[in-house]
Amino acid sequence: MSAQAISAQDIPNNNQLTVSFRLLLGLYAIIPLCLLLQLSDGWFWNGFLQQNLPSSPKQFLLFQIIFGTPHIVASSILLVSNTEYLKFYKLKIILMTVAIAIVFGIGSLFISYTVLYVTVAAWTVYHVLKQQLGVGRSLYRLPDWAFYLLLWLSVTAGLFVYIGIFLKNSLDVQQLSWIKLIAGGLCAGLFCGALLCQRYVTIQSGRYFLWSNVLLVLSSFYLFVQQYYFLAILMPRLVHDATAYIFYVVHDYNKHHKHPQNFMYRYAARCHLPVFVVLPLCSFALAFVLQSYGDSAVNAVIEFFFGVEINKAVTLGLLGYLALMHYYTEAFTWKQGSPYRRFIAFSK
C-alpha cells in the first residue's frame, strides 16, 4: 500500500476518519525500545534475553496469533466480504491462484526447497519494506530514482538479514560471515543513500519518516549481528502489521459506519458492535482458530473419510496461500484510483 498523493478527491465527507502520519510515525517507537532492551540485557541482565528469546517470533504461537497471521486474514476478509472488490479483482485473483499452484505445487517437485524459501523471503521483505517506504512517499516527494535507490538497498539488506536469521542453522561459519559482511555493506550504502536523498525532502515530518524507515533496517541488522534474532524480526513485523491495520480500520469505518454494506457489518450493527473492532476482532479470532486448531481439525476429517494423514494443511497450505495472495493484492489494491482508496484520506 502507498500514499502517493494527498489530494482533494481523497478526502472523504465530514466526520470520516483519516490515516494520521503522526500515528504511523509513532509506531517506530518500537526501534529505540528494542535497542534499549538489547543494551539493558547486556549491561544488567547478563544476556538473559539473548539466551531465552527464540530465534524467531514464529516460534511463539502467541506471536503468530497477534502478529503476522491476523493482518493477512484481515486483508483477505476485507477483499472477499466486499463483493464489488472481489468482482473488480476477480481475474487477477484467479490468475495469481493458478500461478501459486504451479510454482509452489508442481514447481516444488523440481525446484529446491532453498530456492523456494529464498524466493518467498525476498517477496516477504519486499512487501514489508515497500509498504513502509511507500506510505511515506507523499511526504518525502523524492525523485523516482532516489525512492527506488533507498527501496532496493533496504530490500536487499533486509533479505540478507532475513536469510541470516532464518537459515542460520543450515549455513556454515564462513557463509554466515559473508552474509553479515554483505548486509553490513548494503546498510552502509543505505545510510549514505539516505544522506544523499534527504536534501530532496522539504517537510520535516518527511525527514522523520524517511529516517525511521532507514533506521528500521539498520537496527534489524545491528540486532541480527548481536544475535538478538527475535528483536530483529519483531521491529519490522510490528510496524508493518500495525500500519496495515490502521489502513484497514480507517477504510472500513469510512465505508460502513453510516450504512453497513456487507453481511459482517450489518450483523455487527444489530449487535451494537463498534465498527472499529469488527475487522480486528474477526481476524484475530479466525487467526487464533486456524493457528491453534486448523491443522488437527482438517487432518482428523481427511483421515476419517480417506484414511490419509495430511500435516499442516492449514498453517502451511491455506495460510501460506493467503500470505502469498496478500503480498500480491496489496501491491495494487491501495494504489491511487483503486476502489479501496475512495475510503482513505490522510492527515498530518
Residue 265 predicted with pLDDT over 70? yes
The domain of 73 spans 28-347
| Residue 21 resides in a domain | no
Give the residue among 209, 147, 217, 212 at the shortest CA–CA distance from 184: 217
Tens digit of pLDDT for each residue in 184-208?
A: 999 999 999 999 999 999 889 899 9
| Residue 14 resides in a domain | no
**CB-CB contact of 264 with 278 (8 Å):** yes
| Residue 300 resides in a domain | yes
Tens digit of pLDDT for each residue in 219-263?
A: 999 999 999 998 999 999 999 999 999 999 999 999 998 888 889
Radius of gyration (C-alpha) of the chain in whole angstroms: 21
| Residue 77 resides in a domain | yes
Q: Residue 306 corresponds to which amino acid?
A: F
Predicted local distance difference test score (pLDDT) of residue 9:
39
Predicted local distance difference test score (pLDDT) of residue 103:
87
Predicted local distance difference test score (pLDDT) of residue 53:
83
Strands 346-347 and 19-20: parallel
Alpha helices in 198-294 (DSSP H): 204-225, 229-256, 263-270, 275-289
Residue 14 predicted with pLDDT over 80? no
Q: How far is CA 250 from CA 20, 73, 102, 183, 285, in A?
A: 10, 17, 36, 36, 20
Predicted local distance difference test score (pLDDT) of residue 13:
54
- Expressed in angstroms, the distance from the first to the final Cα of the chain is 18
**CB-CB contact of 85 with 75 (8 Å):** no
| Residue 8 resides in a domain | no
Tens digit of pLDDT for each residue in 58-108?
A: 565 566 666 778 999 999 999 999 999 999 999 999 999 999 989 888 877
What residues contact residue 215 under an 8 Å CB cut-off, 6+ apart? 28, 31
Residue 6 predicted with pLDDT over 60? no
Burial degree of 14 (CB within 10 A; 0-12, 13-18, 19+)? exposed
Tens digit of pLDDT for each residue in 104-132?
A: 888 777 888 888 888 999 999 999 999 99
**CB-CB contact of 53 with 228 (8 Å):** yes
Over residues 6-31, mean pLDDT: 75
Tens digit of pLDDT for each residue in 35-66?
A: 999 999 999 999 898 888 876 555 655 666 66
| Residue 163 binned pLDDT confidence (cut-offs 50, 70, 90) | very high
| Residue 11 resides in a domain | no
Domain count, the chain: 1
For all residues of the chain together, what is the average pLDDT? 88
| Residue 291 binned pLDDT confidence (cut-offs 50, 70, 90) | confident
Whole-number Å distance between alpha carbons of 317 and 295: 10
| Residue 13 resides in a domain | no
| Residue 84 resides in a domain | yes
List 19's β-bridge partners, or say none. Answer: 346
